[in-house]
Structure 1
């Protein structure tokens, strides 16, 4: 009976939505970390061309008489949709927030729901912070059974993410799920990976535009981008000269009473967008300290003292309010024999950095919070630097 249900689902899904091109664009032929190239790299030869393939078109245009349309999303290439998807899955909170920013309901599932920080939704009219109905795909790995049960119309998950970071997933498994369910057409842009170097990393708004194209919400996307540009421009006009902006040290504490930290270098991926928009620099620049994402190493207080950042920001496993953070982390640091020697600790310049993931709404919230943390003499703590109501209006289609 289960096989019959899956076969009916597979047939229906293939009629509903089909790949319109290669799983990976031409040129993605380099090897990937963690395994044999033939198993772990999704390449152009893995696609299954059909007579229904179409060329890439402007997303608001139809490519066939039955209103199908194509969207190009690297590394997959051209993806053809017979109609606008209704249900979706996101690789992480960045893609989840992109869809929510465009007025969609939250995705049916993401890899880890705990990494979807929805605090930024609290003061957006009509937007719930709840994640009760969202499924965590990760349960000691990601199973095909979970994906089949969710039965989403589109997966904003980079296929190379699945084959390089998810245990036991091979190229054939991704192809099978794409054929039985729907495309895997995300782009892992929040962090750098060796297997990602042969296709572009999308900026936050490049990725959001892809979501808008898939869901046919380009009017909302353009309004969001305009709001972002206006907000960032107005903030930047008030910033002090570059020579007076701080160098920040981004760290992930190993515990709430940390003796070691995972350092993060100020990279170019979507995770660091708000720091770049605020024009701050990396306190670890010029040091031998490597990013946690490259060698997984930790540093201790003696190493941190050699750099002695002006401002320290913590990536943590949960969302902390300013008062909770100071009571938990800053108090510990101030009482620590070595940590108390850091100038950031002595000056009370230690703050929560939030999570790594961000779409348009979370980015605006993180930019506002970071501006107030780094430049308290310029931006008042009670000042709103972006319009919550405008976000609500855009989500509702009032563009």
Structure 2
């Protein structure tokens, strides 16, 4: 990962620290020579939002469509708020067998991840990683052969993620010269990309989905304490328990807008029976949108499956350092009947806990933030 840009105007000058480290492969694509790459990188740093040196191969009709796909796969939120419960317990009195079984599985996960004492010792986190994305063209929905393009044409990028608790976080993601920012200041979650105004997500602030890919075990444990165990499944030759969460109707309504209605958003966690660790995180979201004309509606169904692996201990906590996310987008209704697949392979290069000097100012939303209800 490239973390520094040399001072091209003064050989003796200090190097500039990149806000988002970029993979070596992305740097190589920035020019035919080392000098040209450094000049292009410096120009890119001055105006990252426009993606002037983009090398995108991800199928899309425009830059705005590429940004939408990047946000969808790179920085989605989960539908539920997560509150840090230091005890990480829930009463099992009057619980169903499915619910009490889920609570027991979560306790095994907490033990496998490093134990309650190690988790409670963490008050903040910073993670640096890199991603590769590949995608398919739009296909008819009855075409079962939707496959991504070859990895030769993959999009390459890097990200930095800061977190102080589930409601305080900030992400910067750069892929093939395009940048997406997202964050939460504890009262509103927002995202920003390109030259478009910053946008506030409807409803109370929610965690970033990327936390639940093995980066934030405490939030993962708290999330699935309210789940039910629905059975077993084999994932990559690993026998797993299946924990399921349905988003309540009132929460879905609070996140809907005048133009979109979230019909359902369901979450699954697959926990290894052998190790207790999270092996796969999955969610499915169905959104009903008003059509541009007439009374017909357009439906968007998004299914995301994330394989989680390469667990390594960092300060006594077992953190996943790699995995793969596959997103299947299905659009139907009105005149549409299409689907496409996008895959992201990700690696974590660095994880640090208890970051000094991480104040509220680090999580302030952009000044041009726009809300769905018209407020600024």
Provide the TM-score with structure 2 as the length reference.
0.25
Name which one, 1 or 2, has greater alpha-carbon Rg. 1
Please state which structure has a larger fraction of its residues in helix.
1
Provide the TM-score with structure 1 as the length reference.
0.24
